[in-house]
Amino acid sequence: MRDSRPVSTRWYRRSLTARSLWRDVAHACRLDADDPVAEWKTRAAELDRLASIANAGRRRALRFRGPGTDLEVGLFGTSRWVSAADRTTSGHDHYANLPSEDIFTTPDPDRVSGYLTIWRGRPLSDGRVVQDALRRFEDGRVVEVRGEGAADGLRARIAVDAFAVTDAGDEIPVVAGGAWAL
């Protein structure tokens, strides 16, 4: 359906939206701070501290529970929690992903069991959207999908490759905030 507002009004609204989006991006990246580099160094140190605490725990698995979710994800014995902060071989600080507010580790993709529900719409590669989709896992494989929207598309992808859409086999991020705990 064509937007009936005058071109100048449409442009103005889009430019306001784009400006507010970039303002939000700048804020999330701490570019509005007096010293953004110092802010990121402080944040990176806090995330590295939290990763050290998580590594000291040496957990064999993580359990996620909530509405529509009861999922256990196993960890390798060698899994390490890290943040996006790193140092190049030449000694320069490097942040792989900004803004970064999490620490993460690699799970054992063969040790994912339980169920997980996607509540918000999630696009598939063909553009269709899956929502309210429950995925049940056994030994790292999706064995059942129930849901609305394009749940059939999700089932079709799983029929070809049971690991293709697990989202549990790539990485586990944990957002590090004030109420954060492992």
Of 3 and 54, more confident: 54
Question: 31 pLDDT band (50/70/90 cuts)?
Answer: very high
* Locus of tokens 């196993």: 74
pTM above 0.75, yes or no: no
pLDDT of residue 4: 52
pLDDT of residue 170: 52
| Of residues 48, 49, 73, the one with CA closest to residue 59 | 73
In one-letter notation, the amino acid at residue 100 is S
**Paired tokens of 155:** 């089932």
Q: Is the pLDDT of residue 40 over 60?
A: yes
Cβ-contact 121, 131 below 8 angstroms: yes
Length of the chain: 182
pLDDT of residue 12: 52
Cβ-contact 172, 107 below 8 angstroms: yes
Q: Is the pLDDT of residue 15 over 70?
A: no
pLDDT of residue 53: 92
**Residues contacting residue 128 through CB under 8 Å, at least 6 positions apart:** 149, 150, 153
Cβ-contact 40, 31 below 8 angstroms: no
Q: What are the tens digits of pLDDT across the range 107-158?
A: 898 899 999 887 777 777 777 777 788 889 999 888 888 877 677 777 777 7
The CA dihedral of 78, 83, 88, 93, to the nearest 10 degrees, is -160
Q: Is the pLDDT of residue 164 over 80?
A: no
pLDDT of residue 113: 93
**Strand positions, DSSP E, the chain:** 61-66, 69-75, 85-87, 93-95, 102-105, 107-118, 122-123, 129-138, 141-149, 172-175
Give Rg (Cα) of the chain: 21
* Locus of tokens 């140092």: 87
In angstroms, rounded to a whole number, what is the distance separating the alpha carbons of residues 147 and 129?
11
